[in-house]
Amino acid sequence: MPTNTHRDQRRSLAKYDSLGIDAPVTLPELRNRTDKGFSAADFLTLHSGLIVSGKYIDEDFKSKLATSREAQEGVLELGFSVPIAKGGSGFGSCAPVTADGYFLTAAHVLAHKDSYVLYATSSHRNTYIDYAPIRVVYRNDAADFAIVKAEMKTPRFLRYRRDPLTPSSTLFAGGWMHEKGGGLFIEHQSVNEEPSGHFRKVITTLPMIKGDSGSPLIDRHGRLCGVLSTMRLGIIVKMKPKSTAVMMNHAEIEKLISADRRR
């Protein structure tokens, strides 16, 4: 049996829902003990993928990831770095939506033909970073939305929020770069650049930083509401910045993934 099941996820996310973003959570491979400093925000990061350009996945990087995979039992080994602070490009996050390696992300994250996804997964004894090249299943630049596939198991994935957001909805980002600040839902907007009617924008007060694009936008129950796309700065300096996420109709996502599986 995999170490991290949906029952385990629901138990940890229940603490997140009741206690907020700083709720302490556990992983089964940590023998159900709370590791001090391991918060619900970190748990949500483990429900995200990190997309990086293939030029950064060199032999030294692969060696470090292999070492992570062989970490001692009960140790959560996730430490690594990417040269984003040095002006690097080709970074972003993505939201896992199935157990077999399908992710949602922002289309502009896919700036490089050879990109990889890094994902924190679990063996029977520990949690480590797995990685694989991604294949683009669907891409819509007008909506800034894409579906990608990696040949890996993704036991921690996100369910869709199916009921409408309200002005009182608190939202978080689960991406690997995000600083885990919360925000509020403001409004939905149509994607005028894309006439199909399959997409909508989610405008929030959630802050964004470089590398947040493609990060899953998550409600307090851990349900996926969209993927972060852009930061919107106010015309007046004193106005708080806004961020925009985009989401495709759930039925259309499932249709595209099902068609890809049949190929």
Can you tell me the distance from the alpha carbon of 136 to that of 106, in angstroms, rounded to the nearest whole number? 12
Can you tell me the distance from the alpha carbon of 35 to that of 103, in angstroms, rounded to the nearest whole number? 28
Strand intervals (E) in 215-260: 216-219, 224-232, 242-248
pLDDT of residue 117: 92
- Model confidence at 144: pLDDT above 70: yes
Please list, in sequence order, all residues whose beta carbon lies within 8 angstroms of the beta carbon of residue 257, skipping any fewer than 6 positions away: 97, 98, 102, 137, 147
Can you tell me the distance from the alpha carbon of 149 to that of 146, in angstroms, rounded to the nearest whole number? 10
Residue 215 burial (CB count, 10 A):
35
Q: How far, in whole angstroms, is CA 5 from its chain's centroid? A: 18
pLDDT digit string (tens) for 75-97?
A: 544 444 554 444 445 678 999 99
Can you tell me the distance from the alpha carbon of 58 to that of 61, in angstroms, rounded to the nearest whole number? 5
Average pLDDT value for the chain: 78
Q: How far, in whole angstroms, is CA 225 from its chain's centroid? A: 11
Average pLDDT of span 13-21: 61
CATH top class, domain 6-150:
mainly beta
Can you tell me the distance from the alpha carbon of 148 to that of 135, in angstroms, rounded to the nearest whole number? 5
pLDDT band at 130 (very low <50, low <70, confident <90, very high): confident
pLDDT band at 1 (very low <50, low <70, confident <90, very high): very low
- Calculate what percentage of the chain has a pLDDT beyond 90: 33
Q: Are the CB atoms for 184 and 167 separated by under 8 Å?
A: yes
Q: Are the CB atoms for 170 and 255 separated by under 8 Å?
A: no
Q: Ranked by mean pLDDT, which of 55-64, 186-195, 201-210 comes out on top? A: 186-195
Least confident segment among 107-111, 190-194, 219-223: 219-223
- Residue of 143 and 29 predicted with greater confidence: 143
pTM listed for this prediction = 0.83
- Residue of 6 and 170 predicted with greater confidence: 170
Least confident segment among 49-53, 65-69, 189-193: 65-69
- Model confidence at 69: pLDDT above 80: no
- Model confidence at 36: pLDDT above 80: no
- What CATH number matches the domain at 170-255, 2.40.10.120, 3.40.50.300, 3.40.47.10, 2.40.10.10? 2.40.10.10
Can you tell me the distance from the alpha carbon of 228 to that of 244, in angstroms, rounded to the nearest whole number? 6
pLDDT of residue 17: 61
Least confident segment among 3-7, 92-96, 189-193, 254-258: 3-7
- 220's enclosing H/E stretch is none
Phi-psi category of 90—alpha, beta or left, where left has phi over 0 and alpha has psi -120 to 50? left
pLDDT band at 63 (very low <50, low <70, confident <90, very high): confident
Which tokens in the block code for residue 96? 């896992």
- Residue of 18 and 51 predicted with greater confidence: 51
Closest to 220 measured CA to CA, from 27, 42, 36, 15: 15
Q: CATH 2.40.10.10 residue ranges in the chain?
A: 6-150, 170-255
pLDDT of residue 219: 85
pLDDT digit string (tens) for 194-245?
A: 888 999 999 998 877 777 889 999 887 778 999 999 876 554 444 566 889 9
Q: Are the CB atoms for 80 and 86 separated by under 8 Å?
A: no
Can you tell me the distance from the alpha carbon of 108 to that of 234, in angstroms, rounded to the nearest whole number? 22
- Model confidence at 131: pLDDT above 70: yes
Q: Is 138 helix (H, G, I), strand (E, B) or coil?
A: strand
